Chain A
Amino acid sequence: MIGSLGMFSCEDYFLQKPDTSGTVDLDAVYGSAKNANAALMNCYRNILLHGWPGGWGVGHGSLSSISGENSRGYSWHGTYKICASGLSVNGTDGSDGGADSYSNNWANIRKCFIVKENIDKVPDMTDEMKGYIKAECTGLIAYRYMGMFYRYGGLPIVTKSFEATDDLNITRSDLQATLDYILALCDEAIAGLPQGKWSDDQTGRLTKGAVMAIKARVLMFAARPLFNSATPYLDNGANNNLICFGKEDANRWQTAITANEAVLTWAGANGYELINTGGAGEGNANPKALDDYGTATSTPGNKETLLAYKADFTNQWTWPGSAIFYYLNMSNLWTNNRWDTDQLGLLTNFLENYYRADGTEQSWPKVGDSAPRPISDWLDRINNMEARFKADHIGPGYQAANNPGVNGWTLESWNRSLGNYGTAVKFPNSYGDGKGCGFSTKYYYHAGSRVWFEPPLFRLAETYLNLAEAYNEANDPTKALKNLNKVRNRAGLPSITVTEKTALRKIIQREKAIEYYNENQRYFDVKHWKLDNIANGIIGGQMREMQFRYISGKSANLASSLIEYWDCNAYVCYWNPKMFLEPFPQSEVDKKTVTQNPGY
């Protein structure tokens, strides 16, 4: 008994804390600046990936495959299933609902709050830096809220990291309250972030300008017709205020203009600008369009990009970290499971948006033509296309302009089909689908053999196009054209002079589509613009792909092998107005606190 009492006293020794390795506990994380910084970096890593391959809900493909830019992918890709049957409340291919990972949004917002709430404990960090980090966390939360705002509408407002014992019965706030909360987060972050840029070795962290751009984009979506309307896209009964503001308010465009002009002001004062090095002067086509557009979309740390996602994985086998490069780099330099990206070609539907280099319309084959066209027609027309097309694509018989001669980016070394090819005469029938008019080379301008890139999250071209759109809506075509032509001229196209509001709106929307091809914006833009033909070849409806006949026994990718081509109906995509917004996961709705969006 005495012995056992003795043992009792050494309980602390015997039942000690776990002797595990490879882990760090909360005290240790906020016990050193180094570890706290690592927790912050995890927030950056996860928050900013939202919407990009590997960072959205669907396991395969990118948003471009469900917004009528690229083909739908393979049958196991979530994008294929969404094309076939729309957004599902049970999710598909790894998402927990729609085309998003709803729970992942909140898990990452929670991580930001934890850093924000604990950073003051760190002993070896200046108060100034603690203040910055809190502002960064706030800005990152705003970024993720922004993404959810235009996906879902009104959202539950979360203001801290919850304890399990907290009252978790938080319903969705209405659209205005959600907007106000995001704007408040932005203002708080802008106030707390450092003046100017981070030091060179810290580039990639949020700046005042980046958060201003978050605010500017949120206000654009608040002003666009999906939300800024007296009537919602579908009647949602008593909950209409979750999906629309309840009245159309022209002032929302003014607010958006102010916010976007503020971004330009900050950018100008801090060395950021739209890249236009051709020296042609205001209002004239830029002779160095290919180089400038290529640099703006591809070069890490370029001066047009306010914020980029910096996760420069070089290991092709790191999943899902590498997914972002995996689904956006289809070149022969990417060797891991390369075939999985073999069905993501450019649709004819989207090809038709591009201008010729002189700003005129291109004339492509149509379904229903009486005969196929010779391949010389194809090569001529491709050759006449505007710089942005050339920078962004490689296809049947035409080389990528982005990395001339770089092994891996050439037709000769591509090592798989760039088009829907066949040798038997089958016009007007299809040889297949998935390869469209070629594959994206965006983001890799002069990248050489580098497989990673830095996805630009905010480029100043967006700010100019936002201003063009907002001024046009605010009945100021002069300023609208001034901003629109900034982007058009940089791309080597002549100025637009149309001032009629509806016509100009269409031109601006088309400009945004071209400038931001494959850049994760169109999927949201077309819904919030409520485009008339959204069900007819944009998100839903008939998708078309070019077909190419070539000489049997030759390498089909090369121009010399091709004979003729024609356009062809490839597949039909599902559209239902309920898809203007995404569904909440059924598993979340079943908990009976969050109300589902209408139609699901």
Chain B
Amino acid sequence: MFSLMVGSATAKGNPASVADTTENKSSSVVLGRLFNTTKDGNTAAISTVSSELIYKNASPNLTNTLFGYLPGLTVKQGSGEPGNDKSNLLIRGVGSYGFGGYDVCKYFVDGFEVNSNYIQYLTPAEIESVSVLKDAAALATFGMRGANGVIWIETKRGKVGKPTVQIQFRSGMQSATNINKPLNSYDFANLYNQAISNDNGGVWSPKYLDADLTAYKNGTGVNVDWYDEVFKNSGKYLDGDITFSGGNRGARYNVVFGYTNQDGLYNVENGDQTSNLNLQKYNLRANLDFDMLKIFEARVDIGGRIEENKRPNYATSSLMSDLATYPSNIYNVFDTDQNYSGTSIYKNNPVGSIKGLGWYSDHTRILQGNFSLKEKLDFLLSGLYLKEAFSFNSYTLSTYSKTKNYARYYNGATTTTDQTTTIVASGYGSAGMEDWKQGDITLGWDGNFEKSVLKSALNFHSSDYKGDGYFGYKYHYLNFNGRVNYTYDNRYVADLGFSYFGNDAYAPSNRWGFYPTVSGAWIASNEEFLKGNSIIDYLKFRASVGTTGGSDSGETGNLSSFSSNGRYLYKQYYASSYIGSFYTGNSSPSWQTTLVPMFVANEKAFAEKSLKYNIGAELTMFDKLNVTVDAFLDKRSDILTMDNSLMGYYGNNYYLANIGKMTNKGFEISASYTNKIGKLGYNLNGMASYSKNKIDYMAEVTPAYDYNAKTGRAYGTYIGLESDGFYQTTDFDADGNLKDGLAVPAFGKVQPGDLKYKNLNNDNIIDQNDVTAIGKTPYAEWTYSFGAGVNYCGFDVNVMLQGTVGSDVNLLDNWNQVVAFVNNGNAYDIAKGAWAYYPDQNIDTRATAKYPRLTTKNNENNYRSSSFWIKSGDFMRIRNVELGYSFGENVLDKCGLTKLRIYVNATNPLTVSSLLKDYNMDPEVMSGYPALKTYNAGISLAF
């Protein structure tokens, strides 16, 4: 059998991903649950990337390293705030609205389930590979954990050989990809005058008089760039790790220690009284293998980590909101006598927030320990084995802070009740914990008979999770599952899998689901007619179909006091009424408890079901070109849904049932080309993923008009009014009323310069009956990447670009930067395009306006969801570019090294996007703490 596996492994090429082209060692094995298969034997859609590649995207957060390497995985960058910088992940688009959006996939590390908290700060040095399991064949044994795909991570293990040490170190600086700054005081004041005049019936009535404006212009007026006061240009970054590896047949080890230190961008010292944003992370992992008595194989893995986050004692989100909304002219940083300025409206001086309040820190401690023992039972039957495994995973978060406060002054007097205090230390307190234990028993049999190869396993997996949370803190599941993989003559493969999955979320009579899968493959290139073909080296076709389940649901979020993630809906629960009590009694009425049903119980509530189809092909030509193609169809049914179609007189709309349906389909293609001309080696690679979904049924109340509906459209489709330019002065009569024949908006009185909308139902009223799809969704239809690498005489250059196409954003989601002046807000460049007509002031933008007329009041007409505010979210970034030099053997031998490479690397150096160009907004992180670009120099060596 062993020889057969080696035989099949000689087939060239790449099992699933372009990423593997530089990583030959894993190309012969396709990872999977229960057992790995050979490249030939694989029937599933799985993409894999090695840790060496993701290391090139420099970030402390593992999720920020996955851009562009894994076809079928969409990664949307999050903020760059140290310790809070997780990306949003999505496998094959949105498959279900029941738990819609990003981060709905499941994570497994070394065969045991973990959560995103656990994976986000793993260090690439401890990881062997990251895989995305996408189709029914890959997800066959996951039962109710599989519907939204799985990210499968394996950590590095020791290999037989002499002890090696590998050291990696890199350091550099990080800065914001982009900051959208508000207007200076002069521009702000000019536009404010327009806004206030617009609110005064179009009569010019400036708040800022010429003297004020002159002062702003010549620099004598208050004009503070709050971003400049709070941010510095760059923060420092460093990470390093050291790996010890080696062993013999009896015992092998791989031990990794990693350290990361990342500073934030605040212009503040780290000290006893103040602190910048800072993340320090310590990773330690020891993976040990023991072979004993030719029967036993044991694995002992310990992976631990400490994360220490520090920040000024003011929430980052609040500070970012203050920076965005505090105009430049409100006050100087300091009032007289070095007292921080502050007013009752603009209470939190941004500089005071980072320097005057002390600091806050939290400490995360995570420990995962896995133990497994395999007994090879060849004495009973050749190839038979039994394996038991146990895992614990513990997470603890604690907080510590030192706090003070400062008095706010304006014109020499205090303006709030805040007093300046000296710094006080808090207690060191717990802020949450999780505990996860899992057990695993596998009975497996590998056999081969002449041309047949068989791998099979039956497994029982139990999972016991306890965490924080009121209604959902305890998750138990049991999973009986198994898989058979049969290869005939290296040409035909059949794979059968199943999961019989029990979940404590559902009624005792209704908590088990059965999920079968079947898949097959045909290796055409091993047929006689293609063997020895000079063009096609490898050609394989795959197909799979099967079911998985999904037991999470966001729909219970609609129950005001029972956010249970779709759990426990089978029993009728009551709560002590949250709306009050009733009193009885005559002279001194007494309080009577009241109890209220929280929802209508549904004994049949169950997990949603995913029926997945996949076809794929793998091709190698000329020994140089690898192409992998997959197409999929995911039919989702039984989505747990609030049944809005029940009539009102049913008496309770809080009824959830498995009635929703959705369809998601798409494809992935990836290709790589590797060649060498003389000493010059080069490679080109690219990938693209496409997905598009449709809500088939979601119990939506039939809207007044078909075009209003969400059903039939993609999840997250923007619905709103269709913008139709601006109202012009000619649209109004002498009294300021809209002329006859023009549809009247139901959102308050309009005036020239307000947004005009299309009246879709021709009823002369613009209202909710005129809403329709006004854009795509926030989820990109296309994710693509392409890259190239060249190496010559020890030098290497690599570049990778990644982007998305087919998503939209609603500018109003970034209210602070878009809606000028409302609620004492700020104004940005976008407001300069406002419609305005004051001929006496030489202001006339009627023909060129790109923004509705300014106002200081809430304007329900202009600032509501409409196509006016929907913009394309498409973008392309250079994710990483790296220039390196590897020293040759003559140098290495002198130093006693086996590898020495130095390099410089840039992550996220350049972004191309219309949002950036037109609105100065980063396409992925439009508001809040900015996304980061990083410039590092690094060294890696081994001996």
Contacts and interface: CB of A to CB of B under 8 A. Distances in A.
Interface of A: 1, 3-4, 7-8, 11-12, 14-26, 28-29, 34-35, 37-39, 41-42, 44-46, 85, 90, 102-103, 106-111, 113-114, 156, 158, 161-162, 164, 168-170, 198, 200-205, 300-301, 310-313, 318, 320-321, 454, 585-588, 590-594
B585 A110 contact: no
B712 to A, nearest CB: 16
A34 B646 CA distance: 32
Given A3-B460, A45-B579, 9 more contacts: A8-B460, A14-B476, A15-B503, A15-B511, A39-B574, A42-B595, A170-B649, A205-B584, A454-B589
B417 interface: no
Interface stretch (B620-628, B700-708, B785-793): B700-708
B651 A4 contact: no
Interface stretch (B260-268, B447-455, B596-604, B844-852): B596-604
A35 B576 CA distance: 10
A20 B581 contact: no
Contacts of B576: 22, 38
B701 A311 contact: no
Contact of B478 (A14, A39, A107, A158): A14
Given A18-B567, A310-B584, A38 B592 contact: yes
Contact of B647 (A15, A34, A90, A168): A168
A44 B582 contact: yes
B594 A38 contact: yes
Closest CB pairs A-B (n = 6): A110-B651, A321-B580, A4-B460, A26-B572, A42-B594, A38-B595
Interface stretch (B188-196, B285-293, B359-367, B652-660): B652-660
A37 B592 contact: yes
20 contacts: A1-B443, A8-B480, A15-B502, A15-B504, A18-B474, A25-B573, A26-B571, A28-B574, A37-B593, A38-B594, A42-B577, A42-B595, A45-B577, A106-B648, A162-B650, A164-B646, A201-B585, A301-B586, A587-B644, A588-B648
A28 B441 CA distance: 39
A556 to B, nearest CB: 25
B656 to A, nearest CB: 10
Nearest to B506: A15
Contacts of A16: 476, 504
Nearest to B657: A164
A20 B645 contact: no
A142 B594 CA distance: 21
B345 interface: no
Given A7-B460, A25-B571, A110-B650, A204 B582 contact: yes
A14 B462 contact: yes
A164 B574 contact: no
B737 interface: no
A270 to B, nearest CB: 14
A168 B646 contact: yes
B209 interface: no
A114 B590 CA distance: 25
A594 B647 contact: yes
B583 A311 contact: yes
Given A205-B584, A301-B586, A24 B478 contact: no
B762 interface: no
B701 A590 contact: yes
A9 to B, nearest CB: 11
Contact of B581 (A41, A168, A198, A320): A41
A201 B600 contact: no
B643 interface: yes
B575 interface: yes
Contacts of B594: 38-39, 41-42, 45
B573 to A, nearest CB: 5
A310 B597 CA distance: 21
Interface in B414-459: 439, 441, 443, 458
B584 A591 contact: no
A454 to B, nearest CB: 8
B35 interface: no
B471 interface: yes
A310 B648 contact: no
Given A15-B511, A26-B572, A114 B589 contact: no
Interface of B: 388, 439, 441, 443, 458, 460, 462, 464, 470-471, 474, 476-478, 480, 502-504, 508, 511, 567-568, 571-577, 579-587, 589-590, 592-598, 600-602, 643-653, 655, 657, 701-704, 746, 767-768
Contact of B582 (A41, A103, A168): A41
A24 B574 contact: yes
Contacts of A34: 593
A587 to B, nearest CB: 5
B597 A111 contact: yes
A204 B646 contact: no
Contacts of A320: 579
Given A7-B462, A22-B575, A107 B595 contact: no
A201 B584 contact: yes
A205 B593 CA distance: 14
Contacts of B703: 590
Contact of B441 (A4, A15, A164): A4
Contacts of B470: 20-22
A198 B508 CA distance: 44
A28 B597 CA distance: 12
Contacts of B477: 15
A39 B574 CA distance: 9
Contacts of A454: 589
A321 B474 CA distance: 33
A203 B477 CA distance: 51
Contacts of B598: 23
A98 to B, nearest CB: 13
B471 A20 contact: yes
A586 B579 contact: no
A45 B581 contact: yes
A16 B580 CA distance: 32
Nearest to A318: B580
Contacts of B575: 22-24
A223 to B, nearest CB: 26
Given A24-B595, A301-B587, A587-B701, A321 B480 contact: no
Given A18-B567, A23-B575, A35 B587 contact: no
A107 B651 contact: yes
Given A22-B470, A41-B592, A164 B655 contact: yes
Given A45-B594, A588-B647, A11 B478 contact: yes
B377 to A, nearest CB: 12
A201 B583 CA distance: 9
A102 B653 CA distance: 12
A28 B595 CA distance: 11
Nearest to A16: B504
B587 A200 contact: yes
A200 B586 contact: yes
Given A15-B511, A590-B701, A156 B583 contact: no
Given A20-B568, A25-B574, A203-B586, A45 B648 contact: no
Residue from A18, A24, A111, A591 with most neighbouring chain B CB atoms (10 Å): A18
Contacts of B458: 1
A29 B594 CA distance: 11
A24 B573 contact: yes
B574 A23 contact: yes
A591 B647 CA distance: 7
B502 A11 contact: yes
A591 B700 CA distance: 10
Contacts of A110: 650-652
Contact of B579 (A12, A25, A198, A321): A321
B275 to A, nearest CB: 36
Contacts of B586: 200-201, 203, 300-301
A106 B441 contact: no
Contacts of A592: 702
B600 A164 contact: yes
Contact of A45 (B441, B511, B580): B580
